[in-house]
Amino acid sequence: MMARTLGLQLESAFNSVESSCMSTDFACKLLAFVYVLGGGNEQVVINQRLIFGISVAQQKFNLFGGRTPNVLISKIIAKYSSELQIAEKENNLKGVGWLSEICTRYDLQMNGITLTKKEKK
């Protein structure tokens, strides 16, 4: 918990100089991933690095209750969400190239349309 707080303070410091620990594009992809595939996926709930990444994206875009999100950012997230929804409907998540970046960064593995924790060898 302390590392997460420190990380968010670091992100806040980056934001104060109009920078970030996470690129805008990656943050949009991450939020689209959570929106489309995150619900009901245990790996999203228990993966502390992923939860931290989601918190950074939330802070980066100032997405807190009662606030109006940036329209441009919302459109980018909607574009990636739509891409994932179509791929999921067609059972072709492996066709979404950027999804592998999220799985690699947060130690998730794609198996068909489900994401499971990688086995440590």
Q: CA 84, CA 37: separation in Å to the nearest integer?
A: 8
Write down the pLDDT at residue 110: 61
- pLDDT string in tens for the chain (121-residue length): 555 577 667 767 776 777 667 889 999 999 999 999 887 777 788 888 888 899 889 888 888 888 788 889 999 999 999 999 999 899 888 889 899 889 888 888 765 444 544 444 4
Contact 74, 32 (CB under 8 A): no
Write down the pLDDT at residue 29: 96
Judged on CB neighbours under 10 Å (0-12, 13-18, 19+), 114 is exposed
Cα radius of gyration (the chain): 15
pTM of the model: 0.78
Write down the pLDDT at residue 19: 67
Q: Where are the domains of the chain?
A: 23-51+66-117
SS3 54: helix
Write down the pLDDT at residue 85: 94
Write down the pLDDT at residue 4: 59
Write down the pLDDT at residue 65: 81
Cα 52 to Cα 60, 68, 86, 113, distances in angstroms: 12, 22, 27, 23
Measured in whole angstroms, the distance separating CA 24 from the mean position of its chain's CA atoms is: 11
Write down the pLDDT at residue 9: 73
Q: CA 73, CA 8: separation in Å to the nearest integer?
A: 20
